Every structure is written in structure tokens, then in C-alpha cells.
């Protein structure tokens, strides 16, 4: 768990980055309509949660900075027995004052009045430029005389790049749950007939272990469906002799995990499947070895491209010269995506990859990223050997940058051919 002192430390750190005579407004997420009068399960805005840990809707966090002094105010829903009967208990103003280490707590119905007061004699207003228009209208109504608007998301996203010990501990827990889910699937899929049965098993394990939800819609792609990168139909029948690409991770206490494994339907890789799989796995292992402080993500990408291109040449998937194939980007037909992304409160954390001046941000201790090389060969691609057609493979792990190198936080999830086949045969 993340304690209130850590949230306050984050707010204090942000306060130092804010301009003098400024007001900063962060809103909670809005409820999202599913259809008519039903809604999707509520999920808090990531930056709002990062700064205060409050999970209720219809709330706001405000920083008011005069010279060097900053005061922080939290706005919450007032207690209402009738509404709470329908929608659940609210923390309320009194309990919020006891819990949160802010200067003051107000009820949200007074937000507009207080905002107008806060904005008097201020020159800068920070808010998220992706904010819903109805809220932008409100804050701009009271800030017409301000000289400058700035995007608060840029500052908070940069802070989220380096994870604290508490954050890492939560992500490790998420990965423990995700490990159980993947291993359960590896063991049980011989008794199932469809992708959606596998999805149900994975997500059952998530829920059973207290995970809020999946961190993203699970991808259970068998056969040629694995060559659709964001395949989420998950409705195909499993075919004996084919592979299943499983990209699934849970969200635990608002922190994501993101894991991909590719496994055989019948528990045994064919010779062709094994050749492709071990080529991708070797690339992944070599990339992970290069992760350390001051390494650049773009260099990891170039190295991945070089290794995968060489591997595809060796297997007869590509033909020609490595340098020319890379220069012409012909490898992209089979490897069209990046080597990985930041991960944290969001499965694709919105943290920046470059500084404001355009130079790349090097890896630093405490950063967490995925490493996920892959190869995708459509079943109708007649330019490659027939034995490889219809095979899609991706292997993805979650990597923490450490003081002198890195740690694979998901190393315990089976991925070698031997380990995957052994899990299947363990029943």
C-alpha cells in the first residue's frame, strides 16, 4: 500500500515545479456510460490518483501557489444517505479531513465559488489539456484575466517515470496474480475448445486474487488471429497444432502488469513453431541484458530490429542484405511495433520518452518498461516458407531498471519451450 505521507511527498515535489502565483486544478475521472442508464465500472483518473490516492468520482484537487508557499485543497462529495443507498458509501468531508494530508477539504458543490476566489490576482492556471470540455468551460470562465495556461499532465507524467518502492511492491503483487493466471491457462487449455474459455479462466484468476480488473482487454489469439496485434474478439475455436498468443495482465490497486506468452494448443511446439519462437526468445533475452541506467530505449529498438532481421534472414523469411533490409524497413512487414513501453498506473504510462528539447530521456533506476519482441506472419503470405505461415509470436516481460542493470519482475512466468511444455504435461 501507498501511505498518505508518500502522496503528500508527491504533491510537495509537484509544488516546487509550479510557477509562482499559480493555480493548479486536477479533476477525478467521470463515469462512462456503457448504454442508456448503465455505466462501465468506475476507474479513477491516473494523475489524480497518483497525487492523492482518492478513488471517488466528482472530486477535485487544487494547488494554490503564492510566491514560494503552496496550499493544497481537496474537494469531495458531501454525505448523502439517499444517494449512498443507491451508489455506495462516500467518504465525506469530515472523514476526508482526517485521512488526507492537505491544507483543507471542501465539498464539491462549493468548487466554483472557491475556484473563483483562488484565481484572484493569479497569473498562471495549470490543468490537463485533455480535460472534458464541460470542465474546461468552467475553469476558463473564472480565469479570463490570466496570462497563461499550462498543461499539468506534462509535469505529473514526468514524475511518474521513476517508481517508488511502494509502487514496485504493488506491481510485483500484480505480477504474482498474472503469473498464476498464465500458468493456469498453460495447464488447462487442453481441456478447452475456444479462446473465450481461456479468457474467462485468466480473468477469473485475476478476480479471485483481488485484482480490480484486467489492466487492458485480454488478447487470446489463436492461429492466424495472433497476426492482428490488438485482436480482442477472442471468439475462435482452438485448432490442434496451432499456437495461442496470450497478452493478459491484471490491474492491482491501480497498478498494471503486462505479459505476453505464446503457447501451443496441444502442449507441444512443432519444429517450425519452435524455430520462430526460440528466435524471438533469444532476441528478448539479449535486449533485456542491455537494460541499465543511461541506456537509451531507441538503442534497444535498433538492436531488436537488427537481431530480428538477422533471425528472419536465417530462417528464409527475409532475403537480402541486413543493412539494406533495415534501411528500407522491410522487416516491418513482420515486426511493425516498438520494443516496449513505460508501465505503471496505466499499462501504457503516459510518461514522456523525450525531454522538452527533443532529446531522448535515458533509462534511470526505478523506471519500468516492457520488452516485447515479436514476429507476425499472415497465413496468406506466400513469400515466406509455408511452414511459418499463420504463426504469430510475441514474448513480453516487465523490466525494472536497477542501480547497475535491471531486474525482470516477471521472470517467474514460464516462457522457455521446455518450461511451457512441462506445465502443459503437469496435469
Active site residues: 37, 230, 247, 258, 337, 341, 348, 372, 376, 394, 396
Distance CA(185)–CA(205), nearest Å, equals 10
Contacts of 374 (CB under 8 A, 6+ apart): 260, 280, 335, 337, 392, 393, 394, 395
**3-class DSSP assignment, residue 174:** helix
Which DSSP string corresponds to 75-87? EEPPP-HHHHHHH
Nine-digit cell at 422? 512441462
Q: How many residues are there in the chain?
A: 427
Query: Is residue 93 within 8 Å of residue 105, measured between CB atoms?
Result: yes
Q: What is the three-class DSSP state of 376?
A: strand
3-class state of residue 213 by DSSP: strand
Q: Return the CA Rg of the chain.
A: 24
Question: How far apart, in whole angstroms, are the C-alpha atoms of residue 149 and residue 399?
Answer: 36
Query: How many CB atoms neighbour CB 209 within 10 A?
Result: 16
Q: Cα(142)–Cα(123) distance, rounded to whole angstroms?
A: 12
Q: What is the sign, positive or negative, of the torsion defined by CA atoms of 215, 216, 217, 219?
A: negative
Give the span between the Cα atoms of 7 and 181, in whole angstroms.
Answer: 31
Task: Return d(Cα 88, Cα 82) in angstroms, integer.
Answer: 10
109, 134, 147, 156: which is closest to 22 by C-alpha? 147
Quick one: cell of 151?
A: 498543461
Amino acid at each position: 500500500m501507498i501511505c498518505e505521507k508518500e502522496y503528500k511527498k508527491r504533491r510537495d515535489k509537484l509544488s516546487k515545479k509550479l510557477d509562482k502565483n499559480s493555480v493548479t486544478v486536477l479533476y477525478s475521472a467521470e463515469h462512462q456510460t456503457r448504454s442508456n442508464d448503465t455505466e462501465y465500472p468506475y476507474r479513477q483518473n491516473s494523475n489524480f490518483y497518483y497525487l492523492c490516492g482518492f478513488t471517488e468520482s466528482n472530486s477535485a484537487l487544487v494547488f494554490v501557489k503564492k510566491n514560494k508557499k503552496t496550499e493544497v485543497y481537496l474537494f469531495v462529495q458531501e454525505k448523502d444517505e439517499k444517494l449512498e443507498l443507491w451508489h455506495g458509501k462516500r467518504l465525506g468531508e469530515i472523514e476526508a479531513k482526517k485521512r488526507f494530508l492537505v491544507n483543507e477539504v471542501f465539498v464539491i458543490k462549493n468548487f466554483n465559488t472557491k475556484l473563483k476566489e483562488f484565481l484572484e490576482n493569479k497569473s498562471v492556471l495549470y490543468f490537463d489539456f485533455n480535460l472534458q470540455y464541460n470542465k474546461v468551460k468552467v475553469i476558463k470562465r473564472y480565469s479570463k484575466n490570466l496570462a497563461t495556461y499550462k498543461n499539468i499532465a506534462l509535469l505529473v507524467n514526468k514524475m511518474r517515470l521513476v517508481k517508488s518502492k511502494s509502487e514496485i511492491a504493488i506491481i510485483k503483487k500484480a505480477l504474482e496474480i498474472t503469473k498464476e493466471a498464465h500458468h493456469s491457462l498453460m495447464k488447462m487449455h487442453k481441456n478447452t475448445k475456444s479462446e473465450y474459455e481461456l479468457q474467462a479462466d485468466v480473468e477469473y484468476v485475476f478476480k479471485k486474487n483481488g485484482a480490480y480488473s484486467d489492466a487492458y482487454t485480454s488478447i487470446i489469439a489463436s492461429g492466424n488471429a495472433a497476426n492482428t496485434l490488438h485482436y480482442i474478439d477472442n471468439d475462435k475455436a482452438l485448432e490442434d497444432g496451432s499456437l495461442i498468443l496470450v497478452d493478459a495482465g491484471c490491474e492491482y490497486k491501480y497498478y498494471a502488469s503486462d505479459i505476453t506468452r505464446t503457447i501451443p494448443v496441444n502442449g507441444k511446439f512443432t519444429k517450425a513453431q519452435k524455430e520462430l519462437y526460440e528466435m524471438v526468445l533469444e532476441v528478448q533475452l539479449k535486449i533485456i541484458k542491455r537494460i541499465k541506467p543511461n541506456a537509451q530505449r531507441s538503442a534497444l529498438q535498433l538492436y531488436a530490429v537488427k537481431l530480428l532481421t538477422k533471425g528472419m534472414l536465417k530462417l528464409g523469411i527475409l532475403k537480402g542484405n541486413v543493412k539494406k533490409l533495415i534501411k528500407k524497413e522491410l522487416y516491418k512487414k513482420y515486426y511493425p511495433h516498438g520494443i516496449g513501453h513505460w508501465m505503471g498506473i496505466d499499462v501504457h504510462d503516459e510518461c514522456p520518452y523525450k525531454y522538452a528539447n527533443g532529446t531522448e530521456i535515458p533509462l534511470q533506476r526505478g523506471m519500468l518498461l516492457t520488452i516485447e519482441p515479436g514476429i507476425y506472419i499472415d497465413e496468406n503470405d506466400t513469400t515466406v516458407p509455408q511452414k511459418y505461415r499463420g504463426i504469430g509470436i510475441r514474448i513480453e516481460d516487465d523490466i525494472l531498471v536497477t542501480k547497475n542493470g535491471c531486474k525482470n519482475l516477471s521472470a517467474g512466468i514460464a516462457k522457455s519451450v521446455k518450461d511451457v511444455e512441462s506445465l502443459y504435461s503437469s496435469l
